[in-house]
Structure formats: C-alpha cells, structure tokens
Amino acid sequence: MQDFAGAFGLAFGLIASGDPDLFEIVGLSMRVSLTALLLSCLIGFPIGALLVVRKFFGRGIVIALVNSMMGFPPVVIGLLVYLALSRAGPLGWLGLLYSPTAMIIAQTLLIAPIVAALSRQVLEALQAEYDEQFRSLGVSRGSAMLALIIDGRYGLVTVALAGFGRAVAEVGAVIIVGGNIEHLTRVMTTAIALETSKGDLGMALALGIILMSIAVSVNLGASALRAVAERQAYA
C-alpha cells in the first residue's frame, strides 16, 4: 500500500522540517506522560515496598486488587476524572478540565497501580534476600522500604518504563479529559486519532512512526543508563 511507503517519507519530512506544531505536540506528550510517571513512581514505589515489608491481614486481597487495577480501561479512568473535574462535578471549582493537568491526573491514576504492582513484584524477590539481615539488625520498616527501593532501582527502572509506555500510548483517557484542543491539550495519540478521522491516513501513520521512535529512544536511553550504572556499581 502506498500509505506505508508514503508515511515513512512524511514522518522524516516532518521531523526534518522542524514543524513547530509537531514539536509542540511531541513536547506536550512527553511533559504529560513524564510528569504522570514521576508522580506514579512517587506513589507506586512506596506502596510496592510497603506491600512487601508489611505482612498485614488481607494483604493478599490488596495485592490482587492492585494487580487487577493494572487492567483498568483508560476510557473508564477518563470518564471518572471527567466526572470529578467537570464544572458540575465535585472538583469543578478547580477549573482543571481540558487542561494538561487533567491529563496528568488521568494518566497518573492509570499507571500508578501498574508501578505499584510491578514494583511489589520486583521488590518481593529482593526482600526474600534481605529479610534475615533486616531482622537481625532490627531495621525499621521505613528504612527497610528505602533500602529495598534503592537496591532494587535497576528493576524499578524497567517498571517505570512499563508505566511510561502505557501512559504515552494511551488515547482513551486523555481525549476525554483533555479534549484534544489544538495548542493546548493535543498530544501524539489524540493527533493520530484526529488525522485518522480526517481520512489522512498517511499523516496519522507518520505521527505513529514518530511516537514509536520516541518510545524506542526512551527505552534505549534507559537501558544504556542502566548498563553504565551497573558497570560502575560492580567495577
């Protein structure tokens, strides 16, 4: 199909021409998803660590709950955030609907459970290793959580990448709470949806190629950082 061949040319053309609209859209995608990721890590890592160090009653149920929240449909999250942030909703007075902040909130709700559930899994293995030491040294719960997060940081990078991937690729939530407003809340995925509905499939595909290239670069960058850090740590 000519769309495929044309799309690659179009994608490179767009990047090479330094199209300001494209850079604005890519920039907003990054800003929204990276902020959501940062907040999700701040929320998810401690929850993951807490679920590892604290063996409370009903812990199994909480873990199952957090795990199943990983599969929450973005469009449902979008709807919930819309209902909360709408002028008619309980948080309407904040005036946040159709703003990048609303998109950050939605994506944070979407990926914080992913970060929490996956980091619990990563830290669980580490805890098994450290458990005896923690006990013999009488380490407090807080210090144990911190030690797990610091020593488990390489695994947690992968966790963060999984969260980032989910955030940057999702369209269902951001199109509802952001509204796909040009120069304000239009990101890569909503722009792709718009170009598709205009029937401009070449442009849609070109934007898709750019989005995938960014995702690949972020992942390569993270694994390169990790490789360097690991080499230094074991040198």
Partner 1 sequence: MMTKTSIFGAALLSILATGASAAEPSILVQSTTSTQNSGFYDYILPIYKSETGVTVNVVAVGTGQAIKNAQNCDADVLLVHARAAEEKFVDGGFGVARSDLMYNDFVIVGPTADPAGIDGGKDAVAAFETIADKKTLFASRGDDSGTNKAELRLWEKAGIDTEAASGDWYRATGSGMGATLNASVGMGAYTISDRATWISFGNKGDYKITVEGDPVLFNQYGIILVNPEKCPSVKTDLGQQFIDWLTSPHGQQLINDFKLDGKQLFFANANK
Q: Which residues bind partner 1 (CB under 8 A)?
A: 35, 38-39, 42-43, 45-46, 86-89, 92, 95-101, 104, 142-143, 145-146, 179-184, 194, 196-201
Distances 183 to 28, 82, 94, 101, 169 between C-alpha atoms, Å: 9, 20, 21, 14, 19
- Whether 98 contacts 185, CB under 8 Å: yes
The pairs formed by 55-63 with CB atoms below 8 angstroms and a separation of 24 or more are 63/117, 63/120
Q: Which is nearer to partner 1, 183 or 231 (CB)?
A: 183
Complex with partner 1: residue 39 or 114, whichever CB lies closer: 39
Nearest distance from residue 149's CB to partner 1, in Å? 9
Closest CA to 78 of 101, 102, 100, 96: 102
Q: By C-beta, is 27 or 228 nearer to partner 1?
A: 27
Distance in Å, CB of 45 to partner 1, minimum:
7
Of 42 and 228, the one with the shorter C-beta distance to partner 1 is: 42
DSSP 3-state of 95: coil
* In the complex, minimum distance from the CB of residue 104 to partner 1, in angstroms, rounded to a whole number: 6
Min dist CB 42 to partner 1, Å, is: 5
